[in-house]
Amino acid sequence: MSERQVFPSFGGRKNAFDFQMENPYGFRVKKLSFFLLCAGLFIPFIAQANSSPSLLQIVVFDWNEISEELEVRSFGSGTAIEKDLVLTNKHVVTHEDGSIADFLLLCPAQSKATHSVECNIPAAVVAVHPEFDTALVRPLSSRVFFPRVRTALQRSSVGDRIRIYGFPRPSEGMQNFGSTKTFENIKKWQEEGGPIEARGDTLTITRGTIQIVAQRKDTGEIYYLTDVKVNFGNSGGAAFDETGVFVGIPTLKDTDSNALVLAYPQLQNWILLHRSERPNVLAEVLRFYHQQTSKTTVQSQKEEHSIDSLSQGLRWRMLRRIPRRLDPENEKAQSSSFASIRTNYFRSKR
């Protein structure tokens, strides 16, 4: 065991954190910084393979009391540890002063990572850890369920291979890594309203190994320092071992963009204590969200007009194809006339 001092940077402020490290290989630990929006992943080989709705992108909103509107603040990731309970980082869903975000939208990953998310599940924060960088989120509807992940019972070790899942966003030096589709869709929704039906970002999966196990001395948090490069986009996401067990949350990065994963086993007692908490959102916030999603956009009006025109056209063509039925009297008259012609014809042959 050795002691090192590292300097995380959060919101432009630098604070010294003392870590106690298990480092049998003598790796050098460099400066750390919080993932402000979310931790993204960047290594030469990025796999976009099978995914799961257990992994979610989180859109964080604040309520503007002056304009009485929801304003998007940040994006992050989360993992469904129970059928209706999502684990994420505290700094994803809170402000620097510790206040909690007013409203969230959850965007479940699709069955394949190449398929984009849809952000249509309202949610809220139900618990925030007093010391650790963790928070619990729950959908507002009791009828929304996610497939839960298998969680680790014991701490991982140096040398263990892991996979990190999340939704990275491009940044300086990593412009071609990640996506901004969700941001663009949410921005359009804020301006125009209507259902959020457009597809968003895709899930990114990267691989690496645990290089160091460290414990933060002031809070007691245990982290895994990995060789997986990170970028804004993955805070609150998921790290899995080779067997598919959830082992922790990508939370920090050093100056070389190596990910630090907050170990999951140390969170179990706190999760059990708060797993039954129910979400609570201000009535005016919910009212605005429902009004905004129920708006009819210009595009939807065009689509409705096109559908109406098409139905009318089809109805007209079908009516033209229906044969006109004869009146009973006319039908009888024509039948009598035809019978008379036949009679005269046969008589003339005689």
**Distance, CA of 262 to CA of 219 (rounded, Å):** 12
Query: Which residues of the chain form beta strands (DSSP E)?
Result: 2-6, 9-10, 13-14, 17-22, 32-34, 39-41, 55-64, 69-82, 85-88, 103-108, 121-128, 135-139, 161-166, 204-216, 222-232, 238-241, 246-254, 258-263
Within 10 angstroms of residue 57's Cβ, the number of other Cβ atoms is 28
Would you state the structure tokens that stand for residue 157, as one six-digit string?
């070790």
Do the beta carbons of residue 115 and residue 48 sit within 8 Å? no
Chain centroid, CA 246 distance in Å:
18
Has this prediction a pTM greater than 0.85?
A: no
Task: Give the up-direction half-sphere exposure of residue 94: CA atoms within 13 A in the CB hemisphere.
Answer: 23
Chain centroid, CA 224 distance in Å:
24
Q: What is the pLDDT of residues 122-134, one digit of tens each?
A: 999 999 999 999 9
Do the beta carbons of residue 292 and residue 119 sit within 8 Å? no
Task: Give the up-direction half-sphere exposure of residue 133: CA atoms within 13 A in the CB hemisphere.
Answer: 28
Question: Comparing C-alpha atoms, which of 99, 98, 77, 96 is closest to residue 88?
Answer: 77
Rg (CA), the chain: 30
Domain boundaries, the chain: 2-293, 298-349
The yes or no reply on domain 2-293 and CATH 3.40.50.1970 is no
**Distance, CA of 201 to CA of 116 (rounded, Å):** 5
Q: What is the pLDDT of residues 276-315, one digit of tens each?
A: 999 999 999 999 999 999 987 544 444 444 445 555 655 5
**Full pLDDT tens readout for the chain, 350 residues:** 334 434 333 333 344 456 666 544 344 444 454 444 343 333 333 333 345 779 999 999 999 999 999 999 999 999 999 999 999 999 999 998 999 999 999 999 876 655 677 888 999 999 999 999 999 999 999 999 999 999 999 999 999 999 999 887 766 666 566 678 888 888 899 889 988 876 788 888 889 999 999 998 888 999 999 998 777 778 999 999 999 999 999 998 888 878 999 999 999 999 999 999 999 999 999 999 999 999 875 444 444 444 455 556 555 555 555 555 545 455 454 444 444 444 343 344 44
Query: Which residues of 154-273 form beta strands (DSSP E)?
Result: 161-166, 204-216, 222-232, 238-241, 246-254, 258-263
Question: Comparing C-alpha atoms, which of 83, 78, 79 is closest to residue 101?
Answer: 78
Residue type, 90: K
Would you state the structure tokens that stand for residue 36, as one six-digit string?
């402000």
